[in-house]
Amino acid sequence: MKIKSALIVVNEAKEDAPAVATEITDYLVEHGIAVDTHSFLIEPAAFSPRAYDVAFSLGGDGTVLYCARLLANHGIPIFAVNVGDFGFITEVSKDEWTETFEKYRDGRLGISERIMIEVTVYRERETIAFLRGLNDAVIAAAGISKVVRLSVDIGETALGRYRADGVIVATPTGSTAYSAAAGGPILAPEMDVLILNPICPFTLSNRPLVLPRDKPIFISIEGKQNTDVVLTVDGQEVVALTEGDRLRLRVADKTARIVRSGRRNFYEVLRSKLNWSGGPDA
């Protein structure tokens, strides 16, 4: 595989990220690969990527989520290096990146295609927001311990009215994040489905659903809310919602392309991260 250009996205809030970025830059330049760097500390600055052959994500899973949204329109493979504390998506450690990258460059490692979620927010028949995410979209109260009132349709079928802390619509990649904490199922990350998961529903019969990609989800913000309601995508982008807003959520036409680690598969990561050892701490 011929790699001529690379982008390095550096989350400088991670202590080791700048040093790893320097190490990667030196390696790439030595091998004749042009390098651009996009660094941020708290909030990423505006950046318009061009058609790089690969993008390194240096941080944790949150940095990969940002990269997925940033690069989705370009189809750039993401080489995720974990310099954070906990990572389901970032399987490559900071000590493994050289060997792993060389395997990828030599064509010995493939790419994991991950679906993304697409959210359109309509207000009085006008589109006020359009967002994509790799993990999830959450419609919930802006305050603490507040119940929201939502109506949910699946395609052209009314599913029902929810009184809950909110609703999560998660991708398979996001199934190990907030949705799992809210009692949702864990899915293999390359599946082509979405999870609809109510958060602490008032009616205990409201259960998580796994839905096929050909069924868009429509969520309407009902009247008489006792709290402000917000949409959050990947925990990083926020849109304030008002009564009467209607959201369409579906599988996006773009994917996140993540370079496989070659060292461990999803089930091994799951077993390790969730401590499914079968021992006294499991």
| Per-residue 3-state assignment (H helix, E strand, C coil) for the chain | CCCCEEEEEEECCCCCHHHHHHHHHHHHHHCCCEEEEEEECCCCCCCCCCCCCEEEEEECHHHHHHHHHHHHHHCCCEEEEECCCCCCCCCEECCCHHHHHHHHHCCCCCEEEEEEEEEEEEECCEEEEEEEECCEEEEEECCCCCCEEEEEEECCEEEEEEEECEEEEECCHHHHCHHHHCCCCCCCCCCCEEEEEEECCCCCCCCCEEEECCCCEEEEECCCCCCCEEEEECCCEEEEECCCCEEEEEEEEEEEEEECCCCCCHHHHHHHHCCCCCCCCC
- Please tell me the distance from the alpha carbon of residue 173 to that of residue 155, in angstroms, as a whole number: 23
Supply 11's token pair: 């989350």
Q: How many CB atoms lie within 10 A of CB 222?
A: 15
- Please tell me the distance from the alpha carbon of residue 165 to that of residue 168, in angstroms, as a whole number: 10
- Please tell me the distance from the alpha carbon of residue 43 to that of residue 236, in angstroms, as a whole number: 9
Q: Contact 34/5 with Cβ under 8 angstroms?
A: yes
Catalytic residues: 61
